[in-house]
Amino acid sequence: MLQRFSLFLSRTPTWFAPLNVAAAAFRSLSSARAVAFIALALALCSGVQAQTQSINLYTTREPGLMKPLLEAFTAKTGIKVATVFLKDGLLERVKAEGVSSPADVLMAVDIGNLLDLSESKLFQAINSEALNAAIPAPLRSSDGTWFAFSLRDRVLYADKSLKLESFRYEDLASPAYKGKVCIRSGQHPYNNALIASIIAHRGIAQTEQWLRGVKANLARKAAGGDRDVARDILGGICDLGLANAYYAGQMKTAAAGTDARKWGDAIQVIRPTFAQTGGTFVNISGAGVAAHAPNKVGAIAFLEYLISPSAQNLYARVNFEYPVRQGVALDPTVESFGLLKADLTPLTEIAKHRKEASLLVDRLGFDR
Ligand code: FE
């Protein structure tokens, strides 16, 4: 509610300023010129209003997640959102549009993508008390260019018959799991970030040893998607693998009788930890205000909405992600995975090892 009021208050002077100027000028004009002047003033006003009443969002996120968030934002603030949904190529597109880009907000998943946008100077720095207060420092840039709005933990999917009680990421390389592991490509951003975080913890030599061990345990080529880990556990191809937690939430709550539900029902989800830190690896989804945003005020209002308790609850309910804001209710299925104790190594530190992680995957032929 507070956010709503501050939003309208800050917009009021913008709306009324042209009207005041018009009234003063009108008193000193002849009638013919006055008509022309009124037309001009109205055009100016509607221009200002149109600008403050809508924002342009560019995102690589799924329309299914965004729709409820966008509808709730518009219902709350009156600001309409025109959304460009991109599969990929967000950075290239905004870069190509340059200073005339209509984008107000850029939204993406994965720390790597957010840093790429930031390093390409496609975000502008903002200072928002609401964002700074609700988002812990390791989950936003120190310069106010990007902010995390959800956490995406990379967890273990295991055959229920294994009855595992805990798991460490290191265990995935254990000879006990030879021929039993399924995982997607080592080059996929989700695995790239995880491997980068192991490099940050243990250095390149020990990470190489670990990744060799995981490769030796693969039941099949490292390929496909995260859901395929559950599918292949049900199919008896493998016993365990790493995947993002929200896919398990989606599958376990899918309609009874669907393939997705059968895959979800076949797996047990465990939040693995790093032996050294005792934390679980989390990546983020996030957003920032575009460098040349035509409607910066509206863009900030949108980001402030995303961190509100109700929007954070939608992240949890609609996409089974973990809210960034403290004290927001989780989806019950996600809650059943146990407490998330996130590894606190700053994501910007981890992201420095992205390139090394990618080279390592190539060198070991992990995906071959
Ligand atoms: Fe995903």
Encode pLDDT of 330-365 as tens digits. 999 999 998 899 998 999 999 999 999 999 999 999
pLDDT of residue 38: 47
What spacing in Å lies between the alpha carbon of 284 and ligand 1's midpoint?
A: 11
Share of the chain above pLDDT 90, in %: 82
What spacing in Å lies between the alpha carbon of 2 and ligand 1's midpoint?
A: 33
d(CA 65, CA 266): 25
What spacing in Å lies between the alpha carbon of 68 and ligand 1's midpoint?
A: 18
pLDDT of residue 33: 54
What spacing in Å lies between the alpha carbon of 98 and ligand 1's midpoint?
A: 29
pLDDT of residue 28: 45
What average pLDDT does this structure show over 260-277? 96
- Across 4-18, 202-216, 257-271, least confident range: 4-18
Q: Give strand pairing partners of 61.
A: none
Residue 246 C-beta-side C-alpha neighbours within 13 Å: 20
pTM: 0.82
Helix, strand, coil percentages for the chain (3-state, nearest 5)? 55, 15, 30
Encode pLDDT of 76-130 as tens digits. 999 999 999 999 899 999 999 999 999 999 999 999 999 999 999 999 999 999 9
Helix (H) or strand (E) holding 49: helix 31-53
Which of 271, 286, 278, 287 minimizes the C-alpha distance to 344?
Answer: 278
Cβ atoms 233, 246 nearer than 8 A: no
What spacing in Å lies between the alpha carbon of 247 and ligand 1's midpoint?
A: 7
What spacing in Å lies between the alpha carbon of 227 and ligand 1's midpoint?
A: 9
Cβ atoms 269, 337 nearer than 8 A: yes
pLDDT of residue 49: 47
What spacing in Å lies between the alpha carbon of 154 and ligand 1's midpoint?
A: 10
pLDDT of residue 339: 87
Q: How sure is the predictor about 301, in pLDDT bands with cuts at 50, 70 and 90?
A: very high
What spacing in Å lies between the alpha carbon of 29 and ligand 1's midpoint?
A: 61
Q: What single string gives the DSSP state of each residue in 103-114?
A: -SEEEEESHHHH
What average pLDDT does this structure show over 302-319? 96
What spacing in Å lies between the alpha carbon of 43 and ligand 1's midpoint?
A: 44
Encode pLDDT of 121-155 as tens digits. 999 999 999 999 999 998 999 999 999 999 999 99
Q: Is 325 helix (H, G, I), strand (E, B) or coil?
A: coil
The highest-confidence range among 5-19, 24-38, 237-251, by mean pLDDT, is: 237-251
pLDDT of residue 29: 45
Encode pLDDT of 15-43 as tens digits. 223 333 333 443 444 455 544 444 444 44
What spacing in Å lies between the alpha carbon of 128 and ligand 1's midpoint?
A: 28
Cβ atoms 223, 232 nearer than 8 A: no
- Mean pLDDT estimate for the chain: 88
Encode pLDDT of 190-234 as tens digits. 999 999 999 999 999 999 999 999 999 999 999 999 999 999 999
Which tokens is 159 given? Answer: 């055959």
What average pLDDT does this structure show over 291-316? 97
pLDDT of residue 274: 95
Contacts of residue 351, Cβ cutoff 8 Å, sequence gap at least 6: 111, 112, 115, 193, 196
